[in-house]
């Protein structure tokens, strides 16, 4: 008989699922087949660098979204996940940027609108990238990257206070949604300058963060306008005590930070069926097999920036 996870148990008592299938990310620019294990090794190295810098500078962070669910179900990466999501507090954004500017190792670089006005404000606030690597994302046409590099990345997004009712929260999101079509046309079709529009959007983010700084509800920044469109989204914001303070969990054998009540966050975002179940002596995922595949890659190299001459 199938036994469901007891959500009241500590993580260490629920067991961690195993998934030994080798998930392919396809052939790289040199025609060599690569797996998600190959990519996840790089992503883990990048995450550990960010963790070390944040600890050194006393900046809180949290593994978020799919990375958070991976902690619950696998004690690390979801086996078919091809990215890392990290959340920081909005008020810590200037410190994080300063930290990356001054202390990020030479093997990496980062993109953000605060440091490069070409950066698209509708994607994660910061992308930390690895030199000597390359990714062409599947959404490269609708959200093109005009910055200089296309290295393997981890995403950093800010969390901030938001309105306490769903109705008001969606109303706040509508402000940035109204820019999507004209933004797309100017950016993708006409390659026009969007500096004024981007400044307006970033100013709106700042004003919203200040207005709801003490709200009992928190969520990712309201200037990412796609967050209430997906079928998986069950809850746009979360009780403050579910998110803060960030605390440590085991991730791939390392101690890394995530949200305060990690299981409740996952339950609110994806519903109770997101958790692995115990069946026939092992923990298994209920996520459909047909969806167990990487979602970001179109073309890539884990070892160099472009095709070798």
Tens of each residue's pLDDT in the chain, 309 residues: 333 334 334 344 445 677 778 899 999 999 999 999 999 999 999 999 999 999 999 999 999 999 999 999 999 999 999 999 999 999 999 999 999 999 999 999 999 999 999 999 999 999 999 999 999 988 888 889 999 999 999 999 999 999 999 889 989 999 999 999 999 999 999 999 999 999 999 999 999 999 999 999 999 999 998 877 655 555 889 999 999 999 999 999 999 999 999 999 999 998 899 999 988 888 889 999 888 888 888 899 999 997 544
Distance CA 109, CA 285 (A): 35
Structure confidence at residue 138 (pLDDT): 87
User: Helix H segments across the chain?
Assistant: 11-14, 36-57, 65-74, 93-103, 166-177, 180-184, 195-211, 240-243, 262-270
Distance CA 65, CA 128 (A): 17
Structure confidence at residue 136 (pLDDT): 92
Structure confidence at residue 294 (pLDDT): 84
Give Cα separations from 123 to 48, 149, 156, 293 (angstroms).
23, 15, 10, 21
In contact, 112 and 126? CB cutoff 8 Å: yes
For residue 245, whether the previous peptide bond is cis, meaning omega lies within 30 degrees of 0, is: yes
C-alpha torsion sign, points 104, 246, 85, 251: positive
Q: Checking phi first, is residue 172 left (phi over 0); if not, alpha (psi -120 to 50) or beta?
A: alpha
Structure confidence at residue 2 (pLDDT): 34
Structure confidence at residue 229 (pLDDT): 66
Structure confidence at residue 85 (pLDDT): 96
Structure confidence at residue 7 (pLDDT): 39
Q: Which residues, at least 6 apart from 210, have a Cβ–Cβ distance to it below 8 Å?
A: none
């Amino acid at each position: 008989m199938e036994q469901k996870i007891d959500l009241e148990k500590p993580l260490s008592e629920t067991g961690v699922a195993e998934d030994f299938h080798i998930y392919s990310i396809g052939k790289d620019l040199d025609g060599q087949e690569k797996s998600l294990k190959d990519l996840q090794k790089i992503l883990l190295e990048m995450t550990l660098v960010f963790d070390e810098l944040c600890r050194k500078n006393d900046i809180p962070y949290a593994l978020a979204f799919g990375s958070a669910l991976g902690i619950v179900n696998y004690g690390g990466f979801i086996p078919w996940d091809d990215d890392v999501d990290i959340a920081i507090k909005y008020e810590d954004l200037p410190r994080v940027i300063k930290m990356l500017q001054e202390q990020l190792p030479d093997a990496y670089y980062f993109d953000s609108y605060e440091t490069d006005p070409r950066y698209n404000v509708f994607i994660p606030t910061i992308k930390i990238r690895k030199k000597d690597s390359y990714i062409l994302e599947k959404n490269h046409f609708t959200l093109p990257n005009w910055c200089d590099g296309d290295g393997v990345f981890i995403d950093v997004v800010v969390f901030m206070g938001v309105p306490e009712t769903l109705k008001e929260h969606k109303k706040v999101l509508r402000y940035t949604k109204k820019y999507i079509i004209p933004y797309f046309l100017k950016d993708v079709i006409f390659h026009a300058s969007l500096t004024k529009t981007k400044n307006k959007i970033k100013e709106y983010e700042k004003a919203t963060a200040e207005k709801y700084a003490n709200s009992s509800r928190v969520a990712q920044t309201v200037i990412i306008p796609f967050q209430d469109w997906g079928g998986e989204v069950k809850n746009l914001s979360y009780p403050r005590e579910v998110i803060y303070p960030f605390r440590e969990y085991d991730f791939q054998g390392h101690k890394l930070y995530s949200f305060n009540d990690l299981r409740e966050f996952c339950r609110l975002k994806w519903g109770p069926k997101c958790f692995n179940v115990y069946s026939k002596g092992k923990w298994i995922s209920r996520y459909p097999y047909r969806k167990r595949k990487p979602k970001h890659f179109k073309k890539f190299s884990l070892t160099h920036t472009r095709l070798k001459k």
